[in-house]
């Protein structure tokens, strides 16, 4: 953005205003994390173009060491604010293990600074709606060393007192009052920072319970979620296992098509497109399949074959000849962490 012009992006009922660092959905101004907003701007500047995760991480975080989980969180937050859906995206499409693409048609316009105030009034915005936030470095410094911030406040108040210039006698009471006010503000700030730095966090409290399923079937974990769906295991008579999913808001649980004898879901990939599944059935020397130790029992489970199952359906892929008692996706899209015996491997 150059000069006194600012870009405004419009798509569907959403308007993104670069100057104000704001996202307006159906006329309502929504708060957006700075990193998530920068991710959205990069996607909007390149509509219909696939942008790799590496490019997004470098453009938004620079040389700061972060994992793909930070980017995944930003994408999840943007989808929630804009009412987007991972499985049927209207705005941000996930390309598994590669990156993201903005698929909606975007209208881009430039607005000169003199036109911005009239636009704000047209949608009912004022300067009070846009709050200036401290730079990331200041936030990090405050968290890392709260006592240093206390020293800054005390120094500022002392400096205020020392820098009051000599003036006529009738103005001295005014300056004296301002000095007392500055000391009072500094003292209050010092006390607040001190309490924040050394306060013992209160234990978490359960505020309410929400029943998500009500079908009477036995269920067991581990559970995995992409923010909109929850994936878990359902135990049926037989015994039989099913991999099922339900909305985070509750509703009817639906089973996924997993062509394994006794599938047990273990984890969900970071992009939400693949499940890590174990086949809890074993085959004896006579070729007869039987169930390994139940994950609900107190007995350590037998090593099981590990598979990657696409969430959208299709054939699962066996992960080599690995057998594990438990497993999770690794920090990268191509690694698996699994446990067998007394060891953990990757």
**How many Å apart are CA 331 and CA 334, to the nearest integer?**
8
Assign residue 61 a region (left: φ > 0; alpha: ψ between -120 and 50; beta: otherwise).
Answer: alpha
pLDDT tens-digit profile of 278-325? 887 655 444 444 454 444 333 345 678 888 889 888 888 888 777 777
**How many Å apart are CA 208 and CA 216, to the nearest integer?**
21
Neighbours of 102 (CB within 10 A): 23
Strands 5-11 and 14-17: antiparallel
The SS3 assignment for 48 reads coil
**How many Å apart are CA 25 and CA 81, to the nearest integer?**
8
pLDDT > 70: percent of the chain: 72
- pLDDT-derived band at 238 (thresholds 50, 70, 90) equals low
- pLDDT-derived band at 118 (thresholds 50, 70, 90) equals low
**How many Å apart are CA 22 and CA 18, to the nearest integer?**
7
For residues 237-243, give the mean pLDDT. Answer: 74
User: Does the pLDDT of residue 236 top 80, yes or no?
Assistant: no
In this prediction, residue 339 carries a pLDDT of 83
In this prediction, residue 323 carries a pLDDT of 78
- Among candidate residues 218, 345, 217, 327, the one with its CA nearest the CA of residue 277: 327
User: Does the pLDDT of residue 218 top 60, yes or no?
Assistant: yes
316 in Cβ contact with 308 (< 8 Å): yes
Residue 48 CA from chain centroid, whole number: 23
Q: Which two tokens stand for residue 118?
A: 């009239």
User: Does the pLDDT of residue 158 top 70, yes or no?
Assistant: no
For residues 50-63, give the mean pLDDT. Answer: 94
Between these two residues, 129 and 46, which has the higher pLDDT value? 46
In this prediction, residue 114 carries a pLDDT of 53
Between these two residues, 75 and 302, which has the higher pLDDT value? 75
Between these two residues, 268 and 164, which has the higher pLDDT value? 268
Neighbours of 117 (CB within 10 A): 12
Using the 8-state DSSP alphabet, how is residue 203 labeled?
Answer: P
Q: Specify the residue for token string 């974990």.
A: 221
Question: Interhelix angle for 172-198 vs 146-162, to 10°?
Answer: 170
Strands 281-283 and 229-236: unpaired
Q: Which two tokens stand for residue 197?
A: 């730095």
Task: Write out the E strands in 211-292.
Answer: 218-225, 229-236, 240-247, 254-255, 263-268, 274-279, 281-283, 289-291
Between these two residues, 324 and 77, which has the higher pLDDT value? 77
Neighbours of 4 (CB within 10 A): 11
For residues 114-136, give the mean pLDDT. Answer: 46
pLDDT tens-digit profile of 326-342? 889 888 767 888 887 67
For residues 27-42, give the mean pLDDT. Answer: 93
- Among candidate residues 299, 302, 296, 298, the one with its CA nearest the CA of residue 280: 302
The SS3 assignment for 218 reads strand
């Amino acid at each position: 953005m150059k000069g006194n012009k600012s870009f405004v992006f419009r798509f569907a009922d959403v308007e993104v205003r670069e100057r104000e660092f704001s996202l307006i959905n159906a006329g309502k101004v929504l708060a957006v994390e700075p990193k998530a907003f920068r991710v959205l701007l990069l996607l909007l500047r390149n509509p219909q173009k696939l942008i790799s995760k590496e490019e997004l991480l470098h453009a938004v975080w620079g040389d700061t060491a972060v994992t793909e989980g930070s980017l995944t969180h930003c994408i999840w937050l943007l989808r929630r604010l804009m009412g987007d859906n991972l499985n049927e995206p209207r705005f941000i499409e996930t390309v598994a293990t590669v990156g993201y693409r903005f698929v909606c048609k975007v209208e881009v316009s430039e607005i000169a600074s003199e036109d911005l105030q009239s636009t704000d009034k047209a949608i009912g915005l004022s300067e009070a709606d846009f709050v200036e936030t401290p730079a990331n470095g200041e936030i990090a410094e405050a968290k890392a060393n709260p006592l240093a911030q206390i020293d800054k406040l005390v120094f500022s108040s002392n400096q205020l007192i020392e820098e009051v210039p000599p003036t006529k006698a009738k103005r001295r009471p005014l300056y004296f009052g301002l000095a007392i006010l500055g000391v009072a503000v500094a003292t209050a700030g010092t006390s607040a920072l001190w309490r924040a730095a050394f306060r013992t966090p209160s234990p978490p409290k359960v505020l309410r319970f929400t029943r998500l399923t009500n079908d009477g079937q036995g269920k067991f974990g581990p559970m995995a979620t992409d923010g909109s769906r929850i994936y878990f295991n359902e135990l049926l008579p037989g015994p039989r296992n099913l991999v099922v999913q339900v909305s985070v808001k509750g509703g009817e649980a639906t089973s996924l098509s997993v062509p394994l004898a006794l599938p047990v879901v273990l984890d969900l990939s970071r992009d939400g497109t693949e499940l890590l599944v174990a086949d809890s059935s074993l085959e004896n020397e006579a070729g007869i399949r039987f169930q390994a130790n139940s994950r609900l029992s107190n007995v350590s489970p037998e090593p099981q074959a590990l598979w990657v199952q696409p969430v959208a359906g299709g054939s699962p892929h066996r992960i080599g000849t690995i057998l594990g008692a438990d497993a999770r996706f690794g920090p990268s899209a191509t690694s698996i962490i699994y446990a067998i015996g007394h060891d953990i491997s990757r």
